Amino acid sequence: MFPSPGLSHLIPLVEFAKLLLQQHNEFTVTFLIPSLGPLTPSMESILNTLPPNMNFTVLPQINIEDLPQNLEPATQMKLIVKHSIPFLQEAVKSLVSKTHLVALVLCMFSTDALEVAKQLNLSSYLFFSSGAVLFSFLLTLPKLDESASSQFLESSYETVNVPGVSFPFHVKDLPDPVLYERSSDTYTSLLDVCQKLSLFDGVIMNTFTDLEPEIIRVLQESENKKLCVYPVGPIIRNESNSEANIGGTLTHEQLNELAFGLELSGHKFLWVVRAPSKHSSSAYFSGQKDDPLEYLANGFLERTKENGLVVPSWAPQVEVLGHGSVGGFLSHCGWSSSLESVVNGVPMIAWPLFAEQTMNAKLLTDVLKVAVRPKVDDESGIVKREEVGKSVKRIMEGDESLEINKRMNELSDAAAATVLSDHGSSRKALSALALKWH
């Protein structure tokens, strides 16, 4: 297994490997880790505590000077992989000489490593840690690109149809890299990934049939019969990790509107505050050093001390969501966080910030109807305090809250059954995959 760089890509792949080996312990898994620098303490902790039939090799570091500066995170990850290909090739050749290697499993931003699988005549599988809605769109992007005008995808389409979704997505709701200039590294890098998706022997997907039934059906019945889709989720962390929970950031103005909104709602809250930034993804690769509590309006902490607990920078999200007293989760709608919320049956306030989070938010609010989404003020571009307070009340009080809770509990039950039951759809998908590897 060859993860994309970074802890947030390693964790789902490790959790998937554990799931595979719990049910099919005749396999052995080796992780081949690309690196730009020394492993972080969290990565070391995860890799050094792998079960006996899982091991790892850290590939030689690539030279940071070989990478352009100020790249968008996804493009940087893809380039790190590209520069690691010669090291990967040697590591895989070594494994082939010592063991019966049946497959190479790659992550989304590791698709350039597909050439290694092809050269060595190995089966290649994509582990897709996001949902089927994003995969279905990405599979469609090359065709959209071919028919788009020369300048901008955004200027060619107002809306885009995603196979398996009953409503069109507005272009502004698509993943960030799609909205870049078509000649930019960011856009061309994403397009290159999308063009390789149909070349894999199979796609292992971190979703489950009851969550995205129509999209999964369309993917499995698509014209491209070669592409086998294995929905084996939900795969979530058993415990929180501070580095994997970095998430997004808000502007200073939005931070204070959120604060006043929580106060207006009158409900008890736990708020993990991060220092504000103009760029919502600024905390993705680097942690923050400022004390975030210094940015809150004077008197807020004192006024809300009976109702709220404000925690700087980080809290154990998995453990918090699993606590029975939590009635709602305001989330940026990253896929892992969305699955954690579903598994624990916690309704959501959808507050997408970057990457594919807006697509996930639309799935949660418009299709699954287990989340509410605050309206952004047209003039200021921010969510005003009154809207924040209203959104909290919508998931905590009244008939709408009861309906959302009911649907979320049904999904939570389905999530448990699909993995734990011998007849569960994800359990069956995993068995089918293991059989193929045999």
Beta bridge partners of 228: 202
Task: Name which residue leads in pLDDT, 3 or 288.
Answer: 3
Q: Are 53 and 201 in the same domain?
A: yes
CA–CA gap between residue 385 and residue 391 (Å, rounded): 10
Q: Which residue has the tokens 């996001």?
A: 130
Shared-domain flag, residues 158 and 172? yes
What pLDDT is stored for residue 280 in this prediction?
59
Tell me if 245 is assigned to some domain.
Answer: no
* Contact present, 270 and 229 (Cβ < 8 Å): no
The residue-averaged pLDDT of 333-341 equals 96
pLDDT tens, position by position, 284-320: 444 556 799 999 999 999 999 999 999 999 999 999 9
User: What pLDDT, on a 0 to 100 scale, did the predictor assign at position 24?
Assistant: 95
In sequence order, the 6+-apart residues with CB closer than 8 A to the CB of 147 are 156
Residue 30 pLDDT class (50, 70, 90 cuts): very high
Domain match, 402 and 285 both: yes
Residue 349 lies in a domain: yes
With cut-offs at 50, 70 and 90, classify the pLDDT of residue 67: confident
Q: How many domains does the chain have?
A: 2
Largest distance between two CA atoms of the chain: 66
Residue 259 neighbours by CB distance under 10 Å = 23
- Nearest alpha carbon to residue 362 among 172, 110, 103: 172
Q: Contact, 103 vs 123, CB < 8 A?
A: yes
* CA-wise closest residue to 316 among 401, 417, 240, 373: 240
DSSP 8-state symbol, 340: H
DSSP structural state of residue 347: -
Nearest-angstrom CA–CA distance, 111 and 97: 23
pLDDT of residue 239: 82
Q: How far apart are CA 218 and CA 15, in angstroms?
A: 27
Q: Are 226 and 363 found together in one domain?
A: no
Domain that holds residue 342: 252-415
**pLDDT average, residue stretch 265-290:** 76
Q: What is the pLDDT of residues 147-166, one digit of tens each?
A: 887 666 777 788 999 999 99
pLDDT for the residue numbered 285: 44
Instruction: Quote the pLDDT of residue 226.
Output: 64
Split at pLDDT 50, 70, 90, the class of 222 is confident
Same domain, 393 and 349: yes
Q: How many CA atoms lie within 13 A of 175 on its CB side?
A: 24
- Between 85 and 36, name the one with better pLDDT: 85
Least confident of 10-19, 163-172, 275-284: 275-284
User: pLDDT for 79-127, tens place per residue?
Assistant: 999 999 999 999 999 999 999 999 999 999 999 999 999 999 999 999 9
Query: How many residues appear in the chain?
Result: 438
**292 in Cβ contact with 313 (< 8 Å):** yes
Q: What pLDDT is recorded for position 224?
A: 57
Where does the pLDDT of residue 225 fall: very low under 50, low under 70, confident under 90, or very high at 90 and above? low
pLDDT at 284: 47
State the average pLDDT over residues 14-22: 96
pTM over the 0.85 mark: yes
Q: Counting Cβ atoms within 10 Å, is residue 89 exposed (0-12), middle (13-18) or buried (19+)?
A: middle
Number of neighbours of residue 240 by Cβ within 10 angstroms:
16
Neighbouring C-alpha atoms within 13 Å toward the C-beta of 169: 28
Residues 23 and 71 in one domain: yes
Closest CA to 153 of 189, 135, 177, 137: 177
In 10 A of CB 68, how many CB atoms? 9
pLDDT at 155: 76
The answer to whether position 283 is within a domain reads: yes
Q: Could you tell me if 89 and 129 lie in one domain? A: yes
Beta strands 371-372; 329-331: pairing state: unpaired
Q: How many CB atoms are closer than 10 A to CB 273?
A: 19
d(CA 436, CA 406) in angstroms, rounded, equals: 38
> Quick one: what percent of the chain has pLDDT higher than 90?
80
d(CA 222, CA 198): 11
> What are the CA-CA distances from residue 134 to residues 72, 109, 112 (Å)?
19, 14, 20
Instruction: Tell me, yes or no, whether 261 and 208 share the same domain.
Output: no
Give the pLDDT score at 79: 94
Lowest mean pLDDT segment, chosen from 39-43, 236-240, 374-378, 434-438? 236-240
Rounded CA gap, 20 and 427, in Å? 10
Q: Which secondary-structure segment (H or E) carries 349?
A: strand 348-350
Q: What is the mean pLDDT of the chain?
A: 92
Q: Is residue 55 part of a domain?
A: yes
* 262/397 same-domain check: yes
In a domain, 393, yes or no: yes
Q: Is 260 in the same domain as 166?
A: no
**Rounded Cα–Cα distance for residues 48 and 58 (Å):** 12
How confident is residue 238, by pLDDT bands cut at 50, 70 and 90? Answer: confident
**Judgement on whether residues 268 and 405 belong to the same structural domain of the protein:** yes
Question: In this structure, is residue 2 part of a structural domain?
Answer: no
Residue 148 confidence (pLDDT): 85
Which structure tokens are listed for 37? 């620098």
